[in-house]
Amino acid sequence: VARGEARRDSDIDLLVVAEDLPRGRFERQDLFMEVEESLRPLIEEAEKLGYTIEFSPLLKTPEEAARTTPLYLDMVEDAVILYDRGGFFQGVLERLRKRLEELGAERVKCGKLWYWRLKRDYKFGEVIEL
């Protein structure tokens, strides 16, 4: 959706950064399902208009979200931040953006997919830290 390539059946990827999350993945999913249930009336309205609403949530604590993951690469280019207390996550993405610039990284389109070339002069076996 954020990249402008949405279809009526596109899923909505959400990264939620919150304090005091349960430790387990399934407990976090259960927590999000409560939020999704509260949105049920809006989801049903969208479905009446021909949209399929499927959320793909990822819930992280601030400590977890502060650690760069490959997931963040496309977010540097495409993320639409809905709420960001104190600019926390914008800062995470900005640090990654600067690191990618230092490396000379580029996002390359291959058909309908994208991949990242993190370093132009990469040598096999070289470790690249983001």
Domain membership of residue 82 as a residue range: 11-103
pTM for the whole structure: 0.82
**116 occurs within a structural domain:** no
pLDDT string in tens for the chain (130-residue length): 444 566 677 788 999 999 999 999 999 999 999 999 999 999 999 999 998 889 999 999 999 999 999 999 999 999 999 999 999 999 999 999 999 999 999 999 999 888 999 998 999 999 999 8
Residue at 79 is within a domain: yes
111 occurs within a structural domain: no
**SS3 of 12, please?**
strand
Residue 125 belongs to a domain: no
In a domain, 121, yes or no: no
Q: Do 17 and 89 contact (CB within 8 A), yes or no? A: yes
β-pair partners for 54? 11
Residue recorded with tokens 């640090």 = 95
From the list 93, 113, 85, the residue with the least C-alpha distance to 19 is 85
Total count of domains within the chain: 1
